[in-house]
Amino acid sequence: MVVVIISSYFLVESPYLIGTIVILVLVLFVVIVLGVSFIQFNYFVKSINKGDNKEISFTFDDGPNPETTPQVLAILACENIKATFFVIGHQLEENKALLLKIHNEGHTIGNHSYCHTKKLTLFSTIHLMNDIEKCSVAIEKIIHHKPLLFRPPFGITTPRYQRALKHLDMKSIGWNIRSFDTIAKNKKALYKKITRKISDGSIILFHDTQQITVDVLPEIIQFCKTNGITIVPLPELINTRAYA
């Protein structure tokens, strides 16, 4: 009743109050949407989106893929480059040998969730923790190391992610260059998009599931070599452990 009386008073005294409240609500809604959608904002989850050194790192999401991942590995091996692969748990059962190959060639394995769906944002904290842990267990069974690095699917974060990762003692890894190679159609445009954004400490997000990524990767590596840009393993770039 008191709230109604006070609200009525302000509505009478301040005819623009409703409009102001609507604007504030809309602003809050936009802020929350941006906070959820853009991992770089660190709004709900503090993520590592860039390194402090001059070097850069390559990261690959959504694998392993039996068709394209071996091609990516061959390119990286030829150039002696170590990358980080954020893998999806449910794909590991049929790609155990490939995951082991990634690990044995000196690359870092990270957790990219088990089910990899946007519905993860709707999961309870416990359900989310179970999904992430399920992926970690699947990885550990194959490479005998438990990952500490996690990349949220689609870069979407919520307070539940923060609670889950804190409980699991894992770090959220973002990026400062998103290639959008999953929707890219033109290799030349993709090359320009990535190379013009490279700067000290860049963490580049690729997907080892795309043929266009395989096709453009040698050219991006050559750009880095020509410009004196060193590509280092992600744990080295951000000075953190990859495994428990």
Residues with catalytic annotation? 61, 207
SS3 per-residue string spanning the chain:
CHHHHHHHHHHHHCCCHHHHHHHHHHHHHHHHHHHHHCHHHCCCCCEECCCCCCCEEEEEEEECCCCCHHHHHHHHHHHCCCCEEEECHHHCCCCHHHHHHHHHCCCEEEECCCCCCHHHHHCCHHHHHHHHHHHHHHHHHHHCCCECEECCHHHCCCHHHHHHHHHHCCEEECCCEECCCCCCCCHHHHHHHHHCCCCCCCEEEEECCCHHHHHHHHHHHHHHHHCCCCECCHHHHHCCCCEC
Q: Output the six-digit token pair for 130.
A: 């179970």
